[in-house]
Structure 1
Amino acid sequence: MQKYLLVTALAAALTANISLAADATPPAAAPAPVAAGPAPVTPANDPAYTYKTLRLNRAAFDSLASRPEQLLVLDIRRPDELIKFGGFPVYLSVQTADVQRSLGSIPRDRLIVVVSNRAHRAGAVGDLLSGYGFHVVGAIGVRDYEDEGGTLTKIAPPASPAQTAAAAAPSQQK
C-alpha cells in the first residue's frame, strides 16, 4: 500500500510539473547576432605593426614603470608632439633622426621602453637599438596609453619673449 501511495504521489508531481511547463510562456528568444564588420584596429591587432620589439599595453608599461631604477623611457617624438599629446613624467628625449648619433648617450644598464605616438616609430627604433645590443623590452604609443585610461603629463610651451614683455608691462589706463 505504501508503494502504491508513493508511486501515485510521484506520478501526480510529475504530471503537475509537465502541465505547468506546458502552460508556461517560452523564454524570449535571444536576439539574432548582428553581422559584425571588421574589428577596429587596436594595439593588440594592428597588422601594420611588424616589428620584433614587443608592443606594450598600459598595464605592461605601468608594471615596468613601477621599477624606475631599472627603466629608461626613451621618447623619440618631436618637441611639438610632446607638447600636443603629452608624455610620461620622466624620459630621455632623442628624436628618431638622432638615435644613431646618440647611441653613446643611451644607458646600456637599463631596460628600455621606446615611446612614440602610436608605437610604430618606437617599434622601428626598438629593433634598431636591439641590433646594437641594448636591452629593449618594448615599445608603446602615448596615444594608445591614454586610450587605455592612462594619464599623461602635459607640457606647456614656454612663453615667447613678446608674451613675457606684454605680461610684465603695466597696463596703461586713461
Structure 2
Amino acid sequence: MTTRSVLSLLSIAAAVTLSAPAAHAQEAAPAGEPAASAPKPYVAPPWTYKTRQLSRNDVDRLLSNPKKLLVLDVRRPDELVKYGSLAVYLSVQLKDLPYALDYIPRDRQIITVSNRAHRAGAAGDLLASKGYKVAGALGSEDYREAGGSLQKVLPPPPKPAQ
C-alpha cells in the first residue's frame, strides 16, 4: 500500500469517526423533548409602533365600508404571490413608500399590510407622521390564522421574447 492510499484511508476513517456521533445524536430526541425538526410556533416580537395593530374583527369592520378605506400592502411581489392579500389593495413596498406618498389618497382610512404586521407598523408610523389617516397595521398571516379570507395573487405572466 502506498503512502498516498494510507493517507486517503485515514482521512476517510477520520471523517466517518467524526460524523458518527452527530449521526447518532439526530436519531431520536429524548422522551419529553420535541424533535429538532419540529416546526416552532411563531412568537411575535414586541410591538414597538405607534400605529395600532389590527385584529381580524377590526379589519372586517373596516372592510364593510370600502369607499372610505385604502388597503396598502407593503410586501414584496413574491410575498404577495406566496401568502395572498386582501381582495383589493395598493401595492407599494416599504422601501419605496417615501417616494410614493403623492400617489396615496389622504381622504381615506388606511390599513397597512405585511406578513406579521411589523413592516406594516413601520409604514403606518411613516404615513401618520405625514398626516395620513391610518386605521392600523395588519399581518396577513395573523388575519388568515384568525379565520380571515385572503385572495391568492397570481404571478405576472412572463414577458414575451423580443
Which TM-score applies when normalising by structure 2?
A: 0.70
Aligned pairs for 1:151-162 within 5 A: 151-160=149-158
In structure 1, what is the Cα distance between the partners aligned to 2:47 and 2:154?
31
In structure 1, what is the Cα distance between the partners aligned to 2:140 and 2:70?
15
Q: Does 2:56 align with 1:74?
A: no
1:87 shift after superposition: 0.4
1:145 alignment partner in structure 2:
143
In structure 1, what is the Cα distance between the partners aligned to 2:42 and 2:78?
25
SS in 1 for 2:106: coil
1:60 alignment partner in structure 2:
58
1:93 alignment partner in structure 2:
91
C-alpha RMSD of the superposition: 1.6
In structure 2, what is the Cα distance between the partners aligned to 1:60 and 1:149?
13
Runs of 4+ in 1 over 4 A off after TM superposition: none
Aligned pairs for 1:28-47 within 5 A: 46-47=44-45
In structure 1, what is the Cα distance between the partners aligned to 2:45 and 2:83?
24
Question: For this pair of structures, how many residues does the alignment match?
Answer: 120
- Output the amino acid matched with 1:104: D
In structure 2, what is the Cα distance between the partners aligned to 1:161 and 1:81?
20
SS in 1 for 2:70: strand
1:166 alignment partner in structure 2:
none
SS in 1 for 2:85: coil
In structure 1, what is the Cα distance between the partners aligned to 2:135 and 2:157?
37
- Output the amino acid matched with 2:48: T
User: Any gaps of 5 or more consecutive residues in structure 2?
Assistant: 1-40
1:31 alignment partner in structure 2:
none
1:47 shift after superposition: 5.0
Most deviating of 152-161 and 110-119:
152-161
SS in 2 for 1:157: coil
- Output the amino acid matched with 1:147: E
1:84 alignment partner in structure 2:
82
Q: Does 2:124 align with 1:126?
A: yes
The verdict on how the C-alpha distance between 1:159 and 1:94 changes in structure 2, with shifts beyond 3 A counting, is closer
The verdict on how the C-alpha distance between 1:85 and 1:131 changes in structure 2, with shifts beyond 3 A counting, is same
Give a deviation string over 1:58-87, Cα, whole Å, max 9, x none.
Answer: 010000000000000000000000000000
Q: Does 2:107 align with 1:109?
A: yes
Which TM-score applies when normalising by structure 1?
A: 0.65
Percent identity of the aligned residues?
Answer: 55
- Output the amino acid matched with 2:110: I
